[in-house]
Amino acid sequence: MVFVLSSSAMKTTTTHKPRRVVCFSSPGRFEEAKEAPIPPARSKNAPLYYNCTLEKGTHVEHSGDVIVVGNVEKDASITTENGDIVVFGSLRGEAIVRRRNKRRSDDLDDDLEGGKIFALDMRPEVLEIDETQMPPPEHLLDTGVNVKDKRAMTGIPMVAEKSERTGEITFSKFYGGASNDDDDDAERYYERKEKNSLSAEQLERCKRAAMVTGTYILAVGVCLFLFPRRLFHAVVPIGETLSSAVWLRVVATAAIAFGLYYRAVAENGETGFYKATVTGRYFVGTSLLFLALFSQHANLALFAVGLVNFLGAFAMKKSLEFGKRTKTTTTTTTRNDKNKNKNNNSWANPSI
């Protein structure tokens, strides 16, 4: 496959699939790919421009800067030597920046700075700068079925670079100055998203545990509706009523638990609900066990209900912790205040 560009800086690239791709350097202008030799670039450091989306299976290599006005889809890659990568769109594939020498060519006296990768939507699967790779995203490590990339688009342009202090890949905003607003802080945003997200296998296990719990509660409710007196006296000793302090506290534990569930759903969605059921059912189970053991009339049925809630909370907790990996949180130590871009007319539509 051959890329044909209208600009003077061009390079032949190949893919694993035998398909032909046409890119155009200005709107409304494009050329058919030809088998004729492609003229070499004027300089190894001349920028290479692509005004198109790099689809799956496309691999680009260049000695110098690479600028893509479009998206870099999954399973597409860009490799540059002694240059930077700028993506005016979504970076979903691979981006690799290498440095062959510590200094530029002899005609330049400036020191060669560390490579940088810019993107309007920074969600790469592989990102490497000077032989240092970022930690792989969670969905690539997950062994579950139907694993999806849960990283959400933030709308915050980002720059990736190698920290001289730690030697790790760091991410920061590449426009404007530092902000104290948490909603505008990309690093904290990603931390919150990661904290409040579960892997596909964890979600599957949580759903199974929730199904068992829901079936149990539904069955108790139906039986209580059909056989109110018989089931009521199986739990409440004969002679006592719901007006007694002990049984009012039993009802109160359920009310507190459901209040926790609803608040968790409002704040963190499905994941928040699953996590809240652990705290809520531990509270219900412990409260019922305490009431069963220390009330005036110890009751075996109440003890059993408390034990079921306690075990249910433990099962949900194990489901949430399944496959949990230790992750290294990289904090950003640098801010770039000089690259504020106020003209967004040429930005590509992000990849969803």
**Beta strand pairing status for 116-122 and 85-91?**
parallel
Q: Do 204 and 161 share a structural domain?
A: no
% of the chain residues with pLDDT over 90: 13
Q: Residue 189's CB: how many other CB atoms inside 10 A? A: 16
State the pLDDT at residue 268.
Answer: 65
pLDDT in tens, 240-281: 555 566 666 777 777 777 777 767 666 666 677 777 778 777
Q: Do 255 and 305 share a structural domain?
A: yes
- The structure's pTM equals 0.43
Q: Across all residues in the chain, what is the average pLDDT?
A: 68
Got the DSSP string for 311-335?
A: HHHHHHHHHHHTT----PPPPP---
Q: Do 49 and 109 share a structural domain?
A: yes
Radius of gyration in angstroms for the set of CA atoms belonging to the chain, rounded to a whole number = 29
Tell me the backbone φ, ψ of residue 303, rounded to 5 degrees: -60, -40
| Confidence label for 313 from pLDDT (cuts 50, 70 and 90) | confident
With H, G, I as helix, E, B as strand and everything else as coil, classify residue 234: helix
Query: What's the one-letter identity of residue 344?
Result: N
Q: Do 281 and 341 share a structural domain?
A: no
State the pLDDT at residue 154.
Answer: 76
* HSE-up (13 A, CA, CB side) for residue 3: 28
State the pLDDT at residue 77.
Answer: 92
Q: Do 185 and 331 share a structural domain?
A: yes
Number of structural domains, the chain?
2
Q: Do 169 and 30 share a structural domain?
A: yes
Q: Do 234 and 186 share a structural domain?
A: no
Over range 203-225, report the average pLDDT.
Answer: 74
State the pLDDT at residue 321.
Answer: 76
DSSP-derived letter for residue 184 is: G
42-46, 140-144, 274-278: range with highest mean pLDDT: 274-278
pLDDT in tens, 318-349: 877 775 544 433 334 334 443 443 333 344 45
Query: Which CATH number do you get for residue 148?
Result: 2.160.20.70
CB-based contact 117:159 (threshold 8 Å): yes
DSSP-derived letter for residue 72 is: B
Give CA–CA dist 303/309, Å, rounded: 10
**Beta strand pairing status for 94-98 and 126-129?**
parallel
Q: Do 146 and 1 share a structural domain?
A: yes
With H, G, I as helix, E, B as strand and everything else as coil, classify residue 77: strand
Residue ranges of alpha helices (H) inside the chain are: 138-141, 186-195, 200-226, 228-235, 245-294, 300-321
CB-based contact 68:92 (threshold 8 Å): no
| Greatest Cα-to-Cα distance within the chain, rounded to the nearest angstrom | 99
Domain assignment of residue 268, given as a range: 200-321
pLDDT in tens, 94-126: 999 987 654 444 444 444 567 899 999 888 989
Q: Do 237 and 179 share a structural domain?
A: no
CB-based contact 336:159 (threshold 8 Å): yes
